[in-house]
Amino acid sequence: MKKLAVVALGGNALLRGDQQGTIDEQEANIYETCTYLLQLIKKDYNLVIGHGNGPQVGNVLLQHEAGSKMFNIPKMPIDICVAETQGSIGYMIEQQLRNVLEKENLQRDIISIITQAMVEKNDPAFDNPTKPVGPYYSKEEADAIAEKTSHKFAEDPRGRGWRRVVPSPAPKSINNRHSIEKLVRDGQIVIAVGGGGIPYFYVEPNKLQGIDAVIDKDFASSMLATQINADEFFILTDVEKVYLNFRKPDEKELDTITVSEAKKYLEEGHFSKGSMEPKIQACIQFVEKGGKQAVITQAYKLGDPGAGTKIVRD
Amino acid sequence: MKKLAVVALGGNALLRGDQQGTIDEQEANIYETCTYLLQLIKKDYNLVIGHGNGPQVGNVLLQHEAGSKMFNIPKMPIDICVAETQGSIGYMIEQQLRNVLEKENLQRDIISIITQAMVEKNDPAFDNPTKPVGPYYSKEEADAIAEKTSHKFAEDPRGRGWRRVVPSPAPKSINNRHSIEKLVRDGQIVIAVGGGGIPYFYVEPNKLQGIDAVIDKDFASSMLATQINADEFFILTDVEKVYLNFRKPDEKELDTITVSEAKKYLEEGHFSKGSMEPKIQACIQFVEKGGKQAVITQAYKLGDPGAGTKIVRD
């Protein structure tokens, strides 16, 4: 049986921080990323692609805000905005990956699936919303919105104003996982859990409802990898490897570490919160739940056996 | 083998013309529509759902316009906007259909697939853009944009201003049709060709590119129905049946007509352009290419054997 890999693409693979976000920029970045994904396909992996949506969902939220002010179009909740970005980013990846495969005369279906991820209402994240989303407001504007809605706001640490903060709960299950696994084992390429998936919960025993929250894309991709019995899990980011004492004089790069070592380094505080820390945690979860290995690296290293930092079983 | 049906949902099934488009309105409409789709599922059909996106893509285009003016966010081309609505509408249908099935204790995966549809660059529609999209402009604004871009504009017949017009080419092929057929024959429910699909063409022999156009959702659903070898094709609209001499004193409702009869009525001009005419044409295409029957009716009639107007082989 072919090896099955889930690859989670970070924001940089789609849109860099120094870019405006035009269609040409995004298509060029994604095309390049797809040439790296090709390395795994050529090595005969079956492939699922997860991806982030940070800059894109930020733009969608601002567009809804502006559309409401200028044209009186009802603003949609965050779950719908995430779904919109799954559509646009899924399409862009699908199209560029088709272009890469066409050049190589490789025939695969490439299937972008809108993905819902279940969360639990009693997840502690709901008591402590931390993820900033949408436009910046003045303190007065934020207070006025907070009074009319249940929205929570927090001041931007860099002083750019106040932003809505939403919870970032843990994904408990990924919808359509059986069909995703079937498609992928059939040799097709699936794009799923975009932006971490669209969060929903059971508001009543038989009633699903979307919820204003954002799921971490690495945790969601890790959960999907576990639930479809993937062999390997890749997180693509903007560093080649994971480091101890990152950017300090005694910086040390990590090649292969066990889950126990990874946990020890986590406890010692080597990995930055909201950045490398959740990636390491997502890798640990995948390997602890049965995955063979998780790899954190840069996209252009894909297919290179020595690439990145590997997290393996003890 | 179970019967396979493709059902194309019209705009009214999602959002009525007299509604603003809030999330609550859309969810309620879609939930109701899904209770009607349940009738086909209970009659043991395998099901693919296509859908329109008229009001939603109109809103997205306005939101992009507003986001560009207020926050300087790059506007995306129409193919990306269609992809966004496939995400949001696909998600809404998926979620509400899950709620309907959960109540009945029915277990199916419900899989919304981002769908690209191939068009041909030499389609005559590209010489004659007719489909109005996006915001209304004054003549001066429209002229200014037309000068900077290749966009074409036309005056609104009801005098509301000038709007961009884009071509509405014929879909030649639907991507991922083999995987869609496999999923559906496996008993899963697939949502596809939202808004008629995202149009693309081959700009070079091995290079796909999106194009500013909008495909008719009934033609796209008909093409998908043909390509996945569906038995039946349903177009849901806001009338129970098709009529000759519609809304005239000698109005006559049609129960079952053959393809030849349908063609004759088309020639006689019984069906309104841009409304019933393309629906009849889409049905004819499906039956001529091998489908058993096509049905035009209202959602609440689904599952009623005498429902709607049937178009059958000669």
Q: What angle do CA A40, A46, A47 make, to 5 degrees?
A: 70
Residues from chain B that touch A38, judged by Cβ atoms under 8 A, are: none
- Residue ranges in chain A whose pLDDT is less than 70: none
pLDDT at A169: 97
Q: Looking at the domain assignment, is residue B129 inside a domain?
A: no
Three-state secondary structure call for residue B90: helix
Residues from chain A that touch B69, judged by Cβ atoms under 8 A, are: 66, 70
B/e letters for B89-118, b = 16+ CB within 10 Å, e = fewer, are bbbbbbbbbbbbbbeeeeebbbbbbbbbbb
Q: Looking at the domain assignment, is residue B277 inside a domain?
A: yes
Q: Summarize the confidence of residues B247-263 as an average pLDDT.
A: 95
Cross-chain Cβ contact B70/A71 below 8 Å: no
Confidence of residue B16 (pLDDT cuts 50, 70, 90): confident
pLDDT at B30: 96
pLDDT at B151: 87
Point out the catalytic residue in the list B12, B29, B53, B175.
Answer: B12
| Cα A206 to Cα B43: distance, rounded to the nearest angstrom | 22
Give the minimum alpha-carbon distance from A85 to chain B in angstroms, rounded to a whole number.
6
Question: Per residue, what are the HEC states of chain A?
Answer: CCCEEEEEECHHHCCCCCCCCCHHHHHHHHHHHHHHHHHHHHCCCEEEEEECCHHHHHHHHHHHHHHHHHHCCCCCCHHHHHHHHHHHHHHHHHHHHHHHHHHCCCCCCEEEECCEEECCCCCHHHHCCCEEEEEEECHHHHHHHHHHCCCEEEECCCCCCEEEEECCCCCCEECCHHHHHHHHHCCCEEECCHHHCEEEEEEECCEEEECCCCCCHHHHHHHHHHHCCCCEEEEECCCCCEEECCCCCCCEEECEEEHHHHHHHHHCCCCCCCCHHHHHHHHHHHHHCCCCEEEEECHHHCCCCCCCEEEECC
pLDDT at B136: 86
pLDDT at A19: 86
Cross-chain Cβ contact B74/A20 below 8 Å: yes
Cross-chain Cβ contact A67/B66 below 8 Å: yes
User: What is the domain extent for residue A282?
Assistant: 4-120+171-312
Three-state secondary structure call for residue B233: strand
Instruction: Find the CATH number of the domain harbouring A82.
Output: 3.40.1160.10
| Cα A84 to Cα A53: distance, rounded to the nearest angstrom | 10
Q: Looking at the domain assignment, is residue B29 inside a domain?
A: yes
Considering only CB atoms, A208 lies closest to which of B99, B111, B135, namely: B99
Cross-chain Cβ contact B116/A95 below 8 Å: yes
- Which residue pairs from B286-293 have beta carbons closer than 8 angstroms and sit at least 24 positions apart in sequence? B286/B222, B286/B225, B286/B226, B286/B230, B286/B233, B287/B259, B287/B311, B287/B312, B287/B313, B288/B259, B289/B226, B290/B226, B290/B229, B291/B225, B291/B226, B291/B230, B291/B231, B291/B232, B291/B233, B292/B231, B292/B232, B293/B232, B293/B233
Residues from chain A that touch B175, judged by Cβ atoms under 8 A, are: 109
Give the minimum alpha-carbon distance from B39 to chain A in angstroms, rounded to a whole number.
19
For the entire predicted model, the pTM comes to 0.96
Three-state secondary structure call for residue B75: coil
Q: Summarize the confidence of residues B77-88 as an average pLDDT.
A: 97
pLDDT at A305: 86
Residues from chain B that touch A109, judged by Cβ atoms under 8 A, are: 175-176, 178-179
Number of inter-chain CB pairs under 8 A, A vs B: 180
Considering only CB atoms, A111 lies closest to which of B88, B110, B176, namely: B176
Give the minimum alpha-carbon distance from B195 to chain A in angstroms, rounded to a whole number.
12
Q: Looking at the domain assignment, is residue B234 inside a domain?
A: yes
Point out the catalytic residue in the list B46, B58, B131, B197.
Answer: B131
Point out the catalytic residue in the list B58, B196, B210, B279.
Answer: B279
Confidence of residue B13 (pLDDT cuts 50, 70, 90): confident
Confidence of residue B62 (pLDDT cuts 50, 70, 90): very high
Residue A230 sits at φ, ψ, to 5 deg, of -70, 150
Considering only CB atoms, B64 lies closest to which of A63, A69, A188, namely: A63
Question: Which range has the worst mean pLDDT, A114-128, A180-194, B139-153, B279-293?
Answer: B139-153
Q: Testing the interface with A: which of B51, B65, B88 to mutate, by most A Cβ within 10 A?
A: B88
HSE value, Cβ hemisphere, 13 Å, CA-based, for A213: 30
Interacting residues of A90 by C-beta distance below 8 A, sequence separation 6+: A51, A112, A113, A114, A191, A194, B83, B87, B114
Point out the catalytic residue in the list B10, B11, B52, B196.
Answer: B11
Give the minimum alpha-carbon distance from B228 to chain A in angstroms, rounded to a whole number.
14
Q: Looking at the domain assignment, is residue B148 inside a domain?
A: no
Considering only CB atoms, B70 lies closest to which of A66, A116, A206, namely: A66
pLDDT at B7: 98
Give the minimum alpha-carbon distance from A140 to chain B in angstroms, rounded to a whole number.
20
Q: Looking at the domain assignment, is residue B131 inside a domain?
A: no
Confidence of residue B18 (pLDDT cuts 50, 70, 90): confident
Number of folded domains that form chain B: 1
Question: Which range has the worst mean pLDDT, A280-289, B61-70, B280-289?
Answer: B61-70
pLDDT at B25: 93
- Is B11 in the active site? yes
Q: Looking at the domain assignment, is residue A176 inside a domain?
A: yes
Give the minimum alpha-carbon distance from B305 to chain A in angstroms, rounded to a whole number.
30
pLDDT at B303: 84
DSSP output for B259-284: HHHHHHHHHTT-S-TTTHHHHHHHHH
Q: How far is CA B290 from the centre of its chain?
A: 21
pLDDT at B134: 79
Active site members of A = 11-12, 131, 217, 279
Considering only CB atoms, B87 lies closest to which of A20, A83, A200, namely: A83
Q: Looking at the domain assignment, is residue B139 inside a domain?
A: no
pLDDT at B5: 98
Segment B88-116, tens digit of pLDDT: 999 999 999 999 999 999 999 999 999 99
Rounded to two decimals, the ipTM of the complex is 0.95
Cross-chain Cβ contact B76/A179 below 8 Å: no
What element of type H or E holds B7? strand B4-9
Point out the catalytic residue in the list B54, B194, B195, B217.
Answer: B217
pLDDT for residue B12 is more than 80: no
pLDDT for residue B17 is more than 80: no
Q: Summarize the confidence of residues B235-242 as an average pLDDT.
A: 93
